[in-house]
Amino acid sequence: MTEIDRFEDVPNEPGRYVYRIKSTGHSSARLGGCEVCGEHVTEVFLQVEGLTFDNDGELAITYADCRDLFGHRGCLLEGRKLQ
Ligand SMILES: [Zn+2]
């Protein structure tokens, strides 16, 4: 599995933001409030943002200028950059 396969619905095009999201299994009592809305979270999710780029003819992922966020699943999904 390559780095890019870890992301969801990757378009076959450079310059697109891509995401993966997973539950941390913890609440905000341990991890702090949602980084999007600031409220308490029962099940904190971590969303990782990546950006596709052309690496000598092969699509690859960079994390430059990308931001990872902890919070409510819904808040994270809403905060994704539009393609
Ligand atoms: Zn939230």
* pLDDT per residue as tens digits for the range 59-80: 999 999 999 999 999 999 999 9
Closest CA to 32 of 21, 23, 41: 41
Give the residue extent of every domain in the chain.
Answer: 3-78
Report how far apart, in Å, the C-alpha atoms of 5 and of each of 1, 2, 24, 70, 75 are.
6, 5, 20, 21, 24
* Strand 69-71 to 58-62 pairing: unpaired
Please report which confidence band the pLDDT of residue 7 belongs to, taking 50, 70 and 90 as the band edges: very high
Which position has the token pair 């609440």?
Answer: 27
> How far, in Å, from the CA of 42 to the mean position of ligand 1?
10
> How far, in Å, from the CA of 57 to the mean position of ligand 1?
38
* pLDDT per residue as tens digits for the range 16-70: 999 999 999 999 999 999 999 999 999 999 999 999 999 999 999 999 999 999 9
Phi, psi for residue 46 in degrees, rounded to 5 = -115, 125
Considering the entire predicted model, what is its pTM? 0.90
